[in-house]
Structure 1
Amino acid sequence: MYTKNEPIRKLIQRNKVIIAAHRGTCGGNVVQNTSLAYKNSLLHGADMIEVDAAMTTDGVFYAFHNGEEKIEYGIEQDIRTLSSKEVDEMYTLNCLGQRTKQKAERLEDVLEHFKDKCLINIDRSWFYWDKIIEVIKKSQMQGQVLLKSGVEEELLQKLEEIGEDIMYMPIMKDIKEWDIVKKYNINVAAAELIFKDLDSPFVQPDFMKELHDLGIAPWVNAITLDDDTVLSGRLDDNNAIKNGFEDNWGKLIELGFEIIQTDWPALVKGFVAK
């Protein structure tokens, strides 16, 4: 394992905390995972956009989170079972369920649009790393893109073989996974830590110090996906809005997190900048 993560470290030095916008910033007639949502998140103060990836049957990548088809299109079919022609003919729904004139966008177009403008975390790409890494290298965006995946040895081996210069972030739910990650010669630039409560070994000072000493940025999901899913010990967006920024986002920063993923980048930006 080695780290070649200057873009992330420089941004943390400048801003203290990197704010990652979950699927962009959507609402109203701005649809998630579109260039409009990503640009909106940057206008709200985000430093990084999170872009989901899905591949059609003919090998075309779209910025889309499969599983959201009913919400975004009103259909039950997985986008990955459709052709690019079929996807290109579909219009999305907005948050009110109204049909828009917006469509899912091709991943290469999104990357080109935001080249040199912000950091980009590509999620759900581990199914197709051979092709995704080829796209990143073709775009010459290795210093801008952060890939992520769960800790699976097959994926780490693949990354070691073809993506040694790609910034990578393991998604970890168990401290034992960290020992697996350290076995591989991959560029671990950040670490996404999932924890139920503050007794988790992930948020103890010794582990945070280990990551910081290695130059690896701890990432926390402050996003509140629903009322039951716990990603950050309930120090999340909903509780920050309800009970106070300092006791939630502030606590996450105090614990040592350097990247906060949120659905409300403007609020986090204002809090961090105060």
Structure 2
Amino acid sequence: MNNTLHLFNNDAVQIAAHRGTAGANIPCNTITAFDIALRGGASILEMDLFKSADGEIFIFHTGKEPYQLNKDIDLTQLSSKEIRQLRLINVDFNATQWGINTFDEVLEHFKGRCILNLDRIGTCISDVIKIVERHNMREQILLKHAPTKKVLKIIEEIAPSYMFMPIYMEEDTASEMVENMNINYIGAELVFKTEQSPVIQPEYIDQMKKKGKILWGNAVLYDFKIPLSAGHTDDISLIESPEKGWGWLVDHGFDIIQTDWTYQCCKYLKDRGINK
């Protein structure tokens, strides 16, 4: 297992900035949002990728076009030239000066600076890996995906040395299979609706720790009706107490916390003495 997560810091619990740090006039999934997240203390940048109609890789969460572009379009059906002409909107639905960044731009900007977690790459893994190799940035890349047989086979064939984390929803459905493949399986993202879910039980956490696996917890709240961490979220951390959210995740063995509130989460970890 080749784990380079601590290549740029020695934090006991690392912070993954969900699409960077965005708000007001700063759109998410942009170089600007990623830069702000790093200044706020993040060591991992989580981002969403897609491929244009003519094959170029860009950074954007497809399906969110009406909310981030104020247009009812499908970016995957547009050419790279058309995508470059678009401008993202702010929280008041006014156009900003920010466009949609290419994957090449993001790689070059963050080369030698942090770990990049690439999400939503199931349909373009081969293209993504080729670009990463061209930039010579393999050690900075963390791949994370649902452990479908199709995706695992692709990872094994074209990216066996890349850090990889399967996403386990409620229970571990793939460890045995992944461990028997030529995949750099460094850990997993654990998603659980309740504290009774199998992946959050002490026995399972201890088992993963004994194997040397890194555990990724998700404090982000996409939808209050669909809990990702049994309610131990950014919201409860900010509104009530960080001990109920970020602190709970730390105390239950998570090595990485994904958050939309990078600075506040990092400050809590430092104030508590977990990180320097």
**TM-score, normalization by structure 1:** 0.95
% identity of equivalent residues: 33
Residue among 216, 239, 243 paired with 2:236: 239
Q: What does residue 57 of structure 1 align with? A: 53
Moved over 3 A (4+): 9-12
1:191-210 per-residue CA deviation (whole Å, 9 max, x = no partner) reads 11110111112112222222
Aligned partner (choices 188, 204, 210) of residue 201 of structure 2: 204
Partner of 1:40: 36
Q: In 2, are the aligned partners of 1:79 and 1:87 still within 8 Å (CA)?
A: yes
| 2:192 corresponds to 1:195 | yes
The answer (yes or no) to whether the contact 1:18–1:47 under 8 Å persists in 2 is: yes
The 1-side partners of 2:237 and 2:98 are apart by 32
Instruction: Check conservation: 2:162, 2:184, Cα contact below 8 A.
Output: yes
SS at match of 1:26: coil
In 2, the alpha carbon distance for the partners of 1:92 and 1:258 equals: 33
Distance 1:29 1:10 in 2: 32
| Residue pair 2:193, 2:226 contacting (<8 A) in 1 also | no
Contact 1:11–1:18 (8 Å) recurs in 2: no
Task: Give the conservation status (yes or no) of the 8 Å contact 2:164–2:183.
Answer: yes
Q: Do the aligned residues in 2 keep the contact of 1:23 with 1:32 (CA within 8 Å)?
A: yes
1:82 and 2:78 aligned: yes
1:66 aligns with 2:49: no
Match of 1:147 in 2: 143
Contact 1:19 1:261 in 2 (8 A): yes
- Report the secondary structure of 1:126's partner residue: coil
Residue 271 in structure 1 maps to residue 268 in structure 2: yes
Could you tell me which residue of structure 2 aligns to residue 229 of structure 1?
A: 226
Written as runs of structure 1 = structure 2, the 5 A alignment for 1:140-179 is 140-173=136-169, 174-179=171-176
Q: Which moved more, 1:184-193 or 1:80-89?
A: 184-193
CA distance in 2, matches of 1:77, 1:133: 27
- Secondary structure, in 3 states, of the residue corresponding to 2:184? coil
User: Counterparts of 1:86-165 in structure 2 under 5 Å?
Assistant: 86-165=82-161
Aligned counterparts of 1:176 and 1:145: Cα–Cα separation in 2: 24
Secondary structure at the counterpart of residue 28 of structure 2: coil
Deviation digits for residues 190-240 of structure 1, max 9, x if unmatched? 311110111112112222222222322100110011221210111001111
Gaps of 5+ in 1: none
Cα distance in 2 for partners of 1:9, 1:48 equals 10
Whether 1:16 aligns to 2:12 is yes
Report the Cα distance in structure 2 between the residues aligned to 1:78 and 1:190, rounded to whole angstroms: 33
Once the two structures are overlaid, the 10-residue window that deviates more, 180-189 or 20-29, is 180-189
Distance in 2 separating the partners of 1:210 and 1:135: 36
Q: Does the 8 Å contact 1:72/1:93 carry over to 2?
A: yes
Length, aligned pairs only: 270
CA shift, 1:10, in A, is 5.8
The code of the aligned residue for 1:159 comes to I
Paired residues of 1:9 and 1:215 also in contact (CA < 8 A) = no
Deviation of 1:177 (Å) = 3.0
- Whether contact under 8 Å (2:8, 2:113) holds in the other structure is no
Check the 8 A contact 1:165/1:187 in 2, yes or no.
Answer: yes
Which protein is richer in helix relative to its size?
Answer: 1
2:214 aligned partner, one-letter code: A
Give the root-mean-square deviation of aligned CA atoms.
Answer: 1.3
